[in-house]
């Protein structure tokens, strides 16, 4: 991630935008509003105005910067390769009195995530409705009631399979560990099945994405510094939530170990084959998070992974590269807009009549589960794959 702390460096980067406007029809917020200030080009101009002193950090200007979804669709299609995501983060960091940054810091604490999830599970549905506006955990919590508790921190040895075992560190992140506890257990099972020794650190650390996107660069830097010390004794690091993985991969200086998305690693670096998995004669809706489509340039690791399951039918839902509306804390700050952006995904999933919807981003999972009928299980692809493992005693 480039360092734009110096105004001169930020100005130079902003100059790369040639104002062509190719990004406008691809931007989700511009598509909703048709407002120049809600477009990538408009937001870059607002940041330029802030730096030059032509504009003040008014509430209206701040709202336009904060409404960016960080989907990075603009980066994917920009002919000048303007690093819009990093520039928007740097611009928000120039706005004083960041109440959104405080919200991001609070939500990023693992203790906050756990407390809110427990409330969502304990309260009756009618009492959960006010909580829904603060946190969309209650539907996801019900969807994951069947899952195991996350494994305790420690080292999980590889089985004896006749080849040298890789030591694989698992970065669960603060939100995934609290909201998708079964995901961590599923990842350990599949990594061990592929012959890896699995290392889970003793602390729940945030990747720093929420803080960075909220303009709190100092907190984001502290998270990055802490995470660089966690995985010095592993061969590779896998991240379970795709949003975390993208942010980890942008650290400067980088992590001391090569980092993979869990689906990427299981597809390209592990030893799994279809003989390990029970058939699943079901249609599964596949949601590709906008960040995966736009930053990983259309990678389809989750679909490749799930095709290991015999008889499965996969169908992608939603518009390519478009945000579902979750976007970190966006679904909490602007729930109506988030629901509008979510609707194409829900419409496609309902039309399929799918029993499962899979997505690799924990925020997307929470947001989509909140809008779907309880009969549709919202899972990470790794969770669904682990469910289909044959018993070791067969």
Prediction pTM value? 0.87
Q: What is the H or E stretch that residue 73 is in? A: helix 73-77
What residue spans define the domains of the chain?
Answer: 7-96, 274-387
Give the CA distances from residue 130 to residues 108, 120, 138, in Å, rounded to whole numbers and listed in that order: 21, 10, 11
Percent helix, percent strand, percent coil in the chain, to nearest 5: 50, 10, 40
Q: What are the pLDDT digits (tens) for 181-213?
A: 889 999 999 999 999 999 988 776 789 998 888
Question: Higher-confidence residue: 3 or 259?
Answer: 259
Low-confidence winner among 56-60, 78-82, 117-121, 258-262 (lowest mean pLDDT): 117-121
Tell me yes or no: is domain 274-387 CATH 3.30.450.40.
Answer: no
Q: Is 77 within 8 Å of 23 (Cβ atoms)?
A: yes
Q: Is 2 within 8 Å of 12 (Cβ atoms)?
A: no
ω into 253 cis (within 30 of 0): yes
Closest CA to 354 of 280, 250, 260: 280
Q: What are the pLDDT digits (tens) for 345-394?
A: 999 999 999 999 999 999 999 999 989 988 899 999 999 999 999 975 44
Predicted confidence at residue 109, as pLDDT, reads 53
Predicted confidence at residue 81, as pLDDT, reads 93
CATH of domain 7-96: 1.10.1060.10
Low-confidence winner among 55-59, 68-72, 118-122, 263-267 (lowest mean pLDDT): 118-122
7 contact partners, CB below 8 Å, separation of at least 6: 51
Common-topology check for domains 7-96 and 274-387: no
Q: What are the pLDDT digits (tens) for 52-61?
A: 999 999 999 9
Closest CA to 61 of 24, 91, 106, 41: 91
Predicted confidence at residue 144, as pLDDT, reads 47
Predicted confidence at residue 123, as pLDDT, reads 53
Cα 98 → chain centroid: 22
Residue 47 clears pLDDT 90, i.e. is over it: yes
Low-confidence winner among 63-67, 261-265, 267-271 (lowest mean pLDDT): 267-271
Token output for 140: 């996801």
Residue 17 clears pLDDT 60, i.e. is over it: yes
Low-confidence winner among 27-36, 76-85, 137-146, 285-294 (lowest mean pLDDT): 137-146
Q: Any idea what DSSP says for residue 278?
A: -
């Amino acid at each position: 991630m480039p360092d734009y702390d110096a105004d001169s460096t930020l100005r130079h980067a902003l100059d790369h935008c040639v104002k062509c406007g190719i990004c406008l029809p691809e931007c989700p917020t511009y598509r909703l509003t048709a407002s120049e200030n809600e477009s990538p080009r408009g937001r870059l101009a607002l940041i330029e105005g802030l730096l030059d002193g032509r504009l003040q950090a008014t509430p209206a200007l701040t709202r336009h910067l904060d409404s960016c979804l960080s989907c990075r669709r603009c980066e994917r299609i920009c002919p000048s390769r303007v690093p819009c995501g990093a520039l928007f983060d740097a611009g928000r960091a120039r706005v004083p009195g960041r109440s959104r940054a405080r919200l991001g810091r609070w939500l990023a604490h693992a203790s906050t995530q756990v407390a809110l999830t427990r409330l969502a599970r304990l309260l009756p549905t009618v009492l959960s409705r006010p909580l829904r506006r603060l946190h969309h955990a209650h539907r996801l919590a019900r969807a994951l009631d069947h899952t195991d508790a996350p494994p305790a921190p420690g080292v999980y040895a590889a089985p004896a399979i006749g080849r040298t075992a890789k030591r694989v560190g698992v970065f669960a992140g603060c939100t995934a560990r609290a909201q998708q506890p079964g995901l961590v257990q599923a990842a350990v099972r599949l990594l061990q099945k592929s012959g890896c020794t699995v290392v889970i650190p003793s602390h729940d650390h945030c990747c720093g994405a929420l803080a960075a996107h909220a303009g709190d660069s100092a907190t984001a830097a502290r998270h990055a510094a802490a995470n660089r010390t966690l995985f010095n004794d592993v061969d590779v690091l896998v991240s379970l939530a795709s949003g975390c993985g993208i942010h980890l991969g942008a650290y400067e200086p980088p992590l001391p170990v090569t980092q993979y998305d869990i689906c990427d690693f299981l597809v390209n670096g592990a030893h799994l084959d279809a003989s390990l998995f029970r058939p699943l004669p079901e249609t599964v809706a596949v949601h590709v998070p906008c960040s995966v489509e736009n930053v990983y340039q259309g990678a389809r690791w989750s679909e490749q992974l799930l095709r290991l399951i015999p008889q499965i039918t996969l169908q992608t839902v939603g518009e390519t590269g478009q945000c579902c509306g979750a976007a970190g804390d966006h679904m909490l700050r602007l729930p109506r807009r988030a629901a509008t952006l979510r609707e194409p995904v829900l419409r496609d999933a309902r039309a399929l009549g799918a029993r499962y919807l899979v997505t690799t981003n924990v925020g997307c999972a929470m947001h989509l589960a909140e809008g779907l009928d309880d009969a549709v299980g919202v899972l990470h692809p790794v969770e669904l794959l682990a469910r289909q493992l044959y018993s070791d005693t067969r």
